[in-house]
A and B are shown apart, each in its own frame.
Chain A
Amino acid sequence: MNSSSGEGRHDDDSALTEFLASLMDYTPTIPDELVEHYLSRSGFHCPDLRLTRLVAVAAQKFISEVASDALQYVQSFQFLAFFCSIELRIMHCKARPAPPVKDKSKQPKDKRLVLTMEDLSKALHKHGVNLKHQEYFADSPLTGMDPSSREE
């Protein structure tokens, strides 16, 4: 049993070392200088470049997960909107004999995928980050109030 566990540990060790070695060949999207700057600011001190790359890869994985979740929200919303618009058109067609529908422009494929604060906040909420975005900013506290109460 000891030998088998020892072999298992050896495999795990080699897996980790191989992973760290392969990090040197891979260039993460997040630049090393940025990661080094913020790591040194937070007290992390290590001259090994492989660990910096590990942090960069971990951060990239986190951001890509958040972005893919946000993309799913955007695509599901667009599909829902497209589906609802089709239903409405069917209802209109049944109500009156309308000319042939020629709207291919409303397909969700042609619509651009835009990252908005709403989708981002929903995606981040899944990962434990609470992001609240103000819908609008007013010039003064009395903006938007009733004129009668404003006079008071």
Chain B
Amino acid sequence: MRDGGRESGRNNEGRLKRNRPFGGDDFGRAVARIAVAQVCESTGFHSSHRSALDALASVLIRYICDLGKAAAFHANLSGRMESNVFDLIQGLEDLRSSQGFARASDVHRCLVNSGVVREMNESFMTAEEVPSACPFPHFPIVRFQKPMPSFAQIGETPPGEHIPDWLPAFPDPYTSTHPLPVRNERVTDLHVDETEQAWQRRKAERSLLGLQQPLACNGMAQPSPAFDGDGGKGKQVVASNPFLAPPLPYGEKEVSEIVVPNDASTGKRLSVLETFAPAIEAAKVGSLDCGVSDERMLPNKRSAVHFRLGMDRELVVVPFSSSTLGEKTGFWYLRDDEKDGKKQRAELILKEAMKNPHELAQL
């Protein structure tokens, strides 16, 4: 029992990572929570703890399920599939038996004048009507999946005698492209173009997407059209959310080249702070607009950023080109005379972040 500590710890971690321990019944639970909150409010509570509300909602769901099971059991016991009011009253009596109800000891009691129903009638007459807060749709929504048509339904002969015609038909040829003929073309072509390779790869991915789309949309009423390409759809996506736009093909947008510093000629190394100096100045100025000001502040040429390699405490600049290794190892963070207050603070933050990377990982 003692040894199970570690394993249970691991299990707890897994349980914490999972967001939904209750399964796929979240909508029903949410509705139950609303109903329970309304009942508590009508009773006189001003507020409630969330855990208490969840627990009470679970109790409500359990109660309804138990009542249904008991009524179904009594119906099946009598040789019926459909339950009636007497099965329900017997189920109510079963659930109420732990607390007791009127005339429970009467062996020859009739279900029509059961004490449970009488109590319910009395409380129902005195209670005020509190309807549900909002209308709910009939759930769960059942979606009927349209099955894939078979060869016989399409009127196609299956390609091969071993395939019977009652099996689902193969997908259309436009949804798949064979890479073999492309490769033959490349073999004949002596000069391999990199952009051509990337275009072929993208075409293959597009065809895969085109195959997946009709399969995914099979359950829905509207059949999906062929995947025409990035043009029309991409523009729509861009209009709605720029982050979901498809990636641009190679060469469409001009991106500045990375300037590799020639250490022998200039001898000056740029620190992380100096690279981000424009952004820091923009923050000082106070302009928080992401769109225009950033474009103005970013330089046209992107300079190389020196990153720290290794897990040492001391920050050592590793030069970009290996030829100058071992010559100058400037401790850039020690140049105090050049910095002002805000830069020092930014330096400190960067230093602490790089010193304790394992703490960052835990977050």
User: Shortest distance in angstroms between A132's beta carbon and chain B's nearest beta carbon?
Assistant: 10
Contact: B132 with A64, CB < 8 Å?
no
Cβ A38 vs Cβ B85 within 8 A: no
Interface 9-mer from B40-48, B156-164, B207-215: B40-48
The answer to whether A71 touches B82 (Cβ under 8 A) is: no
Q: B23-74: which have CB < 8 Å to A? A: 28, 31-32, 35-36, 38-40, 42-49, 51-53, 55-56, 59-61, 63-69, 71-72
Closest residue of A by beta carbon distance from B113: A12
* B65 in contact with A41 (CB, 8 Å): yes
Contacting residues, chain B, for A43 (C-beta < 8 A): 68-69, 72
List, in ascending order, chain B residues with CB within 8 A of A45's CB.
72, 81-83
The answer, yes or no, to whether B117 is at the interface (CB within 8 Å) is: yes
A98 to B35, CA, bound (A): 50
Out of B83, B117, B121, B137, name the residue touching A51 (CB < 8 Å): B83
Judged by a CB distance under 8 angstroms, whether B357 is at the interface is no
Chain B binding surface, main DSSP class: helix
In the assembled complex, the Cα of A148 lies from the Cα of B64 at a distance in Å of 51
Query: Quick one: given A57-B120, A114-B46, A128-B99, are A34 and B31 in contact (CB under 8 Å)?
Result: yes
Contact B112 A61 (CB under 8 A): no
Which one of A13-21, A79-87, A89-97 is at the B interface? A13-21
Q: Does A58 sit at the interface, judged by CB under 8 A?
A: yes
Contacts of A129 in B (CB 8 A): 59
Q: Which stretch in B123-131, B182-190, B256-264, B330-338 binds the other chain? A: B123-131
B139 touches A33 (CB 8 A): yes
A47 vs B45: C-alpha distance when bound (angstroms): 36
Q: How far, in angstroms, from A58 to B131 measured CA to CA in the complex?
A: 15
The distance from the CB of B129 to the nearest CB of chain A, in whole angstroms, is 6
Interface contact B98-A128, CB-CB below 8 Å: yes
**Complex CA distance for A120 and B120, rounded to whole angstroms:** 22
Q: Is there an interface contact between B65 and A42, defined as CB atoms closer than 8 Å?
A: yes
Contacts of B120 in A (CB 8 A): 19, 57-58, 61
Inside 8 A of B68's CB, which chain A residues have their CB?
38-39, 41-44, 55
Main secondary structure of the interface of A (DSSP, over half): helix
Q: Does A4 contact B (CB under 8 A)?
A: no
- Is residue A105 within 8 Å, beta carbon to beta carbon, of the partner chain? no
Cβ of A77 to closest chain B Cβ, rounded Å: 14
Q: Write the nearest CB–CB distance from B77 to chain A, whole angstroms.
A: 13
Instruction: Judge whether A61 and B123 touch: CB under 8 Å.
Output: yes
Q: What's the Cα separation between A7 and B133 when bound, in Å?
A: 43
* B279 within 8 A of partner (CB): no
Contact B64–A67 (Cβ < 8 Å):
no
Interchain nearest-CB distance for B52 vs A (Å): 5
Chain B residues contacting A128 (CB-CB under 8 Å) are 98-99
Q: Establish whether residues B49 and A115, one from each chain, have CB atoms under 8 Å apart when the complex forms.
A: yes
* Segment with Cβ contacts to A, from B4-12, B191-199, B311-319, B340-348: B4-12
Q: Does B110 touch A at the CB level, under 8 Å?
A: yes
**A49 interface contact, C-beta 8 A:** no
The answer to whether A136 has its CB under 8 Å from any CB of chain B is no
| Chain A residues, CB < 8 A from B98 | 127-128
Q: Are A120 and B56 in contact (CB under 8 A)?
A: yes
* C-alpha gap A55/B55 in the complex (Å): 20
Min CB gap B66→A, angstroms? 8
**Contact of B110 with A9 in the complex, beta carbons under 8 Å:** yes
Q: Indicate the member of A29, A31, A119, A129 with the most B CB atoms within 10 Å.
A: A29
Contacts A/B (CB < 8 Å), 29 sampled: A12-B112, A13-B112, A16-B113, A26-B124, A31-B132, A31-B136, A33-B137, A38-B64, A38-B68, A44-B68, A44-B71, A45-B81, A45-B82, A45-B83, A46-B82, A55-B68, A58-B120, A61-B123, A61-B124, A67-B40, A114-B45, A114-B47, A114-B48, A115-B48, A116-B52, A128-B99, A133-B51, A137-B12, A141-B8
Known pairs A29-B39, A44-B68; list 6 more (Cβ under 8 Å): A28-B132, A34-B136, A37-B139, A59-B60, A64-B43, A64-B127
Nearest 7 CB-CB pairings of A with B: A42-B68, A44-B68, A141-B5, A115-B48, A43-B72, A12-B113, A67-B43
Residues of B within 8 A of A (CB): 5-6, 8-9, 12, 28, 31-32, 35-36, 38-40, 42-49, 51-53, 55-56, 59-61, 63-69, 71-72, 81-85, 88, 92, 98-99, 110, 112-113, 117, 120-121, 123-124, 127, 129-132, 135-140
